Amino acid sequence: MNIIENYRNWRRYRETVSELSRLSNRHLADLGINRGEIPSVARRAI
């Protein structure tokens, strides 16, 4: 079960990074995020 949960978490992380990366700098700024923070924001989202 732990392997499945780890895989799901990894997928969620990658999807979040991908979605945030597609946003423009302006949209990210509206959310209070800069590009360098995307990985840490995605990690917190899991």
Q: How many CA atoms lie within 13 A of 18 on its CB side?
A: 6
* Distance between CA atoms of residues 38 and 13, nearest Å: 10
Predicted confidence (pLDDT) per residue in 10-43, tens digit: 999 999 999 999 999 999 999 999 999 999 999 9
pTM for this predicted structure: 0.86
6 φ, ψ (degrees, to nearest 5): -60, -40
Q: Would you give the DSSP letter of residue 37?
A: G
